[in-house]
A and B are shown apart, each in its own frame.
Chain A
Amino acid sequence: MCKRLLIVDDSPVMRSFVKRSIEIAGLQVDRWLEAGHGREALEKLGVEAVDLVLTDINMPVLDGEGLLRAMRSDERLRTVPVVVVSTDGTELRMARLMELGALGYLRKPFPPERLCLLLEQVFPDWAEERGKELSDVGF
């Protein structure tokens, strides 16, 4: 049950942090794609399908809101789940991004459990498999 994920953030160390957090959560990812801004993300999404996009908001060239708008107006990308990972946790911003169709909002700093919960929402098949594994070892 391997996944393809795209991480969009202008900070390479933050992309690395998100990637490591997902690996620690135990999600099997067979293809990692990365982009430094929304425009680069759209270019990558144009040639390769992904199961989830995790995006920052404040980025040069095209920000997270612009990326979300572009994806929602594109027939092929409209249904791709998007989770926003950002330092901006103001209510107005979160509400606007959810209205634009973000599936979830992860405010930095975030503990690994919060990321896990979001991944379980996005991938219920993985959540079920994970729950079974945890119960098999007595949790």
Chain B
Amino acid sequence: MWDSDPGPAIAEGLSGAAIEMAGAAVEVLETMFFELPVDLVREAEPPRAGLASEVEFSGTRNGRLAVDVEPGMARRLAASFLGREDEQTVTEPEVNLVLLELANMLCGNALSRLEPRGGFQIGAPRPALVTEGGAGWLMVPVESGRLSVRLSFRDEA
């Protein structure tokens, strides 16, 4: 039984950790970037190389979160996060820093949902030079473009 209204469905065809990852992505994008989903979150092919960042974690579970954002969307996200109306005032270093913070927030939020009683050390987020291939990518469609995110655990590799 639900303690409260579970709200509208945000994902389709997902189970387990992927559902929590989808929930984390939607919450982070809505709350910190004012970006609303325009469709359901689904599993997808690995993204074509956009701007990517990643963060590793250890503790109750070990693994990595990778996020890839279309270049135009990255600038818009950075502008929203920094409270700038004009995207052109956002510098490239600022875009990169916001993407690092995005990976950090997605990782922390997803792990808190998956293992609320767990204990984790989340490493420093870093730019990812190559977007990983393979399965497990989720695509989050929002107004300004598509965000792709993948949460992988080392013990499940």
Residue B87 at the chain A interface, CB threshold 8 Å? no
Interface of B, secondary structure class, is helix
Residue B16 at the chain A interface, CB threshold 8 Å? no
Residue A32 at the chain B interface, CB threshold 8 Å? no
B119–A93 contact, CB under 8 A? yes
Nearest-CB distance from B103 to chain A (Å)? 10
Q: Using C-beta atoms within 8 Å of the partner chain, give the interface range for chain B.
A: 20 to 34
Instruction: Give the residue of B27, B83, B117, B123 whose beta carbon is less than 8 angstroms from that of A90.
Output: B117
B27–A109 contact, CB under 8 A? yes
Nearest-CB distance from A105 to chain B (Å)? 12
A110–B31 contact, CB under 8 A? yes
Expressed in whole angstroms, the Cα–Cα distance for A60 and B120 within the complex equals 16
Expressed in whole angstroms, the Cα–Cα distance for A34 and B115 within the complex equals 32
User: Assuming A90-B115, A93-B119, is B101 touching A13 (CB within 8 A)?
Assistant: yes
A91–B116 contact, CB under 8 A? yes
CB neighbours of A86 from chain B (8 A): 108
Binary flags per residue of A84-111, CB closer than 8 Å to B gives 1, else 0: 0011111111000000000000011111
- A: residues with CB less than 8 A from B are 10-14, 16-17, 20, 58, 60, 86-93, 107-111
A sample of 17 inter-chain contacts (CB < 8 A) reads A13-B94, A13-B98, A13-B101, A58-B124, A87-B107, A87-B108, A88-B111, A88-B112, A89-B108, A90-B116, A90-B120, A92-B119, A93-B120, A107-B112, A109-B27, A109-B109, A110-B31
